[in-house]
Amino acid sequence: MVNTNDEEGAACLNHKSSNLYFTRCKYDKNLDKGCRIYVAKRGGSYWGQVKEVEIPGIPEHISIVHPAISDDELTLYFVADSLLGGLGGKDIYKVTRIKKNQPFGPPQNLGDIVNTEADEVHPYIRSNGDLYFSSDGHPGMGGLDIFKAVHIDGAKYIIENLGYPVNSSHDDFGIVFMGMKEEGFLTSRRLGGMGKTDLYHFVLPEISFTVSGEVMDKYTNEPLAGVDVQLMNEDFVLVDSKSTDEFGRYLFDLEPKNNYIIYFKYPGYEVDKTRVDMKDMTESKHFTRDVILKK
């Protein structure tokens, strides 16, 4: 069973809501024993088959808490005291495995871009791989603030404070999203609540990006209709393609967190291209890319 005479809390579900990862703290005045992460399986409307998630290299007296599991259940994020060898206070770690039926490997500290000398807690991983967490070590609005960490490469992340109204001058933590909607819930101790710590629902404005332009002949300055316009990502994979209308115009919707290359092809003319760099942008924007083709 999940609930026992010990303390259970700080839980998360896998993508299918079939596995529950949670924290259990066993207190014994005769033993110096830390908290551990457990997993329970759902059978109908009941939860059972509870077992500890084995993480190698964790001393018995060190607590590991606040689990966050990736959609494929191959990466587990958690929080541990700096006594584990971190940067100070509480740090966020991760463990990985190749298959779900295999054990996790040794813990990896997320490094000094995510972790600070203060506390980093309450990790949450979205389906797109973005990591959310709370910290009182990164520059913020006061107390614990909620941050987003976009993974770039290795231990490199781009850290963003979610700002107001998600954050306040008091402690804000424990954010969760409704799938990939910009909507979810968070926990906060801000003023105006019903008690010391309250749950809040939020809806963030959706970010949208578009690019449009006109394609013209260099010498006549007339618009070119029927130009093949190809939108590619940075790996040169074709994302979308369109033909310019009778006025030489085109329009594409763009996905956030990407950079694009646009190719223009027309019989009898040289191929031309232009770029749209927007990977690090966090606010909606429309781009204009006019192109002049020459023979």
**What is the pLDDT confidence band of residue 83, given thresholds at 50, 70 and 90?**
low
Which structure tokens are listed for 230? 């190809």
User: Do 227 and 181 reside in the same domain of the chain?
Assistant: no
Is 2 inside a domain boundary?
Answer: no
Q: What CATH number has the domain bearing residue 175?
A: 2.120.10.30
User: Do 231 and 146 reside in the same domain of the chain?
Assistant: no
Q: How many CB atoms lie within 10 A of CB 56?
A: 10
User: Do 116 and 132 reside in the same domain of the chain?
Assistant: yes
Q: What is the pTM of this model?
A: 0.74
Query: How high is the pLDDT of residue 32?
Result: 61
pLDDT higher than threshold 90 for residue 60: no
User: Do 30 and 160 reside in the same domain of the chain?
Assistant: yes
Where is mean pLDDT largest: 85-89, 155-159, 259-263? Answer: 259-263
Query: How high is the pLDDT of residue 87?
Result: 82
What range defines the domain where residue 186 resides? 7-203
Give dist(CA 19, CA 33) in Å, integer.
25
User: Do 118 and 170 reside in the same domain of the chain?
Assistant: yes
- For the CA atoms of 175, 77, 79, 203, the dihedral, rounded to the nearest 10 degrees, stands at -10
Boundary residue ending a domain (140, 170, 203): 203
- The count of residues in the chain is 295
Boundary residue ending a domain (140, 174, 203): 203
User: Do 228 and 189 reside in the same domain of the chain?
Assistant: no
Is 41 inside a domain boundary?
Answer: yes
